[in-house]
Structure 1
Amino acid sequence: MPSSGGPFLIGGGREPEQVLPTHRPFVAACGGGPIALVMVDEGGGVDVERWTAALDGAAEVRPVVLAADRPIAGDDVAGVAGVYVVAGLTPLYAELLAGWALPAGVVYAGFSAGAAVAADRAIVGGWQDAQGGAVCPDEAGEDLDPVTVVPGLGLVDFAVDVHAAQWGTLGRLVHAVEAGLVVEGWALDEGALLVDGRVIGPGAAWHVTGHAPVRRVTELSA
């Protein structure tokens, strides 16, 4: 199986100009090998067509459907070149992927929830600080009130928040760093791919540390 950089962390987005540039580098990194498309059925079914279309150019996509009583298993990703974990209720994704390790040599991509859970300390939701003050819109809380951090997949040593400009979640990441819940992190706009420290696509990424101002990073023009 091919090995490459990564993981490939995508902040969201539905428009073609957001989806294609943020997904094609991952598909290319898989070298034509099969990709496991990991989705969680939260009770309303899954949109296999949407996520397969996002992997434009992939030779083979293998849907893997998880559910509340069906976490990921090793056989789900046997023989694949890449694993693509998509969007949904982030706390549930974290629960169903808990304890799972990405096989050696397999390329990882995460979209929205899939990007958030890639961290060693994963921000899975919440919109309030310890005193009950708002740090982002409550609609971004993912059914949680306090900002909540849990063990993630450990693929990166920084936290990841998503839909930053669209959902106002940059404030949540800033709070998580200032409160010591995480050491540092990246908040990704829709249409932003973060891979190996580079930002690709039309969206921006926001780097947050405890010792420097928030830094907005965009894709550099050729």
Structure 2
Amino acid sequence: MSSGAFLIGGGREPEQVLPAHRPFVAACAGGPIACLIADEGEGVDADRWRTTLVDAGADDEDVRVVVLSAQRAIADADVDGVAGIYVAGGLTPLYLEVLAGWRPPAGVPYAGFSAGAAVAAEQAVVGGWRSADGLPVCPEESGEDLDVVTVRSGLGLVPFAIDVHAAQWGTLGRLVHVVQEGLAREGWALDEGALLVDGEIHGTGAAWHVGPDGRVRRVGPS
């Protein structure tokens, strides 16, 4: 499997989470993993993310937790010498803020969970729930504290847009809107439990591909 970008649509249950994480941990070949978590102001549940990686096969001592915040953006030293980079979930606009202007080192496997997957894109779907003319494109509670659908420059690891929690949060409509409006050329909307690697879906969840022509096709796990 690829040593590049491992994009995970979310999920809480072990039967969703572990199959989606094991390929990334295996790609890290037993080396250290930088686990990047954004603090929204109320602290972070570092044990959740560490336990997920350990249960997926990483050694506990190899998981290096790095807490980022609006006051503490990422630094190159945070990922120095690591065999993999894992970007956790949370508020997508904050993750884009703390990672702004940074690029993962070439050749180092990257895994993004939920927000971490969204920001990996060349054009990142940051949030929002209605179009510029005020029409809803997804549930308001899926807007990530944003009103109008917002797309910004992401990490550029993949050339298509990513949306997450597709079936669970109703975000497929937002991604279709993004492509139809020309904000991204194409995109993938990932269900919880879905892992996207090299254009293939793995794990326990499905996904929807929105092509440049606006056509939508559902893709199950390989």
Bin of the TM-score, shorter chain as denominator length: over 0.9
Between 136-145 and 47-56, the greater mean CA deviation after superposition: 47-56
Deviations along 1:162-206, whole A, 9 cap, x unmatched? 000000000000000111111100000000000011111111010
Deviation at 1:101, TM superposition (A): 1.0
TM-score normalised to structure 2 length: 0.96
Q: Does residue 112 in structure 1 map to residue 119 in structure 2? A: no
Deviation at 1:130, TM superposition (A): 1.3
**Aligned ranges 1:1-222 → 2 under 5 Å:** 4-55=2-53, 56=55, 57-59=57-59, 60-211=62-213, 213-220=215-222
* In structure 1, C-alpha distance between the alignment counterparts of 2:214 and 2:107, rounded to whole Å: 34
Deviation at 1:72, TM superposition (A): 0.3
Counterpart contact for 1:89–1:142, Cα < 8 Å: yes
Counterpart contact for 2:2–2:198, Cα < 8 Å: no
* In structure 2, C-alpha distance between the alignment counterparts of 1:146 and 1:86, rounded to whole Å: 24
* In structure 1, C-alpha distance between the alignment counterparts of 2:183 and 2:214, rounded to whole Å: 17
* In structure 2, C-alpha distance between the alignment counterparts of 1:153 and 1:138, rounded to whole Å: 26
Counterpart contact for 1:81–1:105, Cα < 8 Å: no
* In structure 1, C-alpha distance between the alignment counterparts of 2:4 and 2:107, rounded to whole Å: 11
* In structure 1, C-alpha distance between the alignment counterparts of 2:114 and 2:219, rounded to whole Å: 18
Q: Does the C-alpha gap of structure 1 residues 105 and 23 become closer, same or farther in structure 2, counting only changes over 3 Å?
A: same
Deviation at 1:212, TM superposition (A): 5.3
Between 98-107 and 188-197, the greater mean CA deviation after superposition: 98-107
Deviations along 1:45-78, whole A, 9 cap, x unmatched? 1111111111121121000000111100000000
What SS does the corresponding residue of 1:50 show, helix, strand or coil?
A: helix
Q: CA RMSD in A?
A: 1.1
- The amino acid that maps onto 1:34 is P
Gaps of 5+ in 2: none
TM-score normalised to structure 1 length: 0.96
Gaps of 5+ in 1: none
Between 49-58 and 137-146, the greater mean CA deviation after superposition: 49-58
Deviation at 1:4, TM superposition (A): 4.4
* In structure 2, C-alpha distance between the alignment counterparts of 1:69 and 1:76, rounded to whole Å: 15
* In structure 2, C-alpha distance between the alignment counterparts of 1:38 and 1:192, rounded to whole Å: 20
- The amino acid that maps onto 2:90 is G
What SS does the corresponding residue of 2:24 show, helix, strand or coil?
A: helix
Deviations along 1:61-106, whole A, 9 cap, x unmatched? 0000001111000000001000000111101100110110111221
- The amino acid that maps onto 2:32 is P
What SS does the corresponding residue of 2:138 show, helix, strand or coil?
A: coil
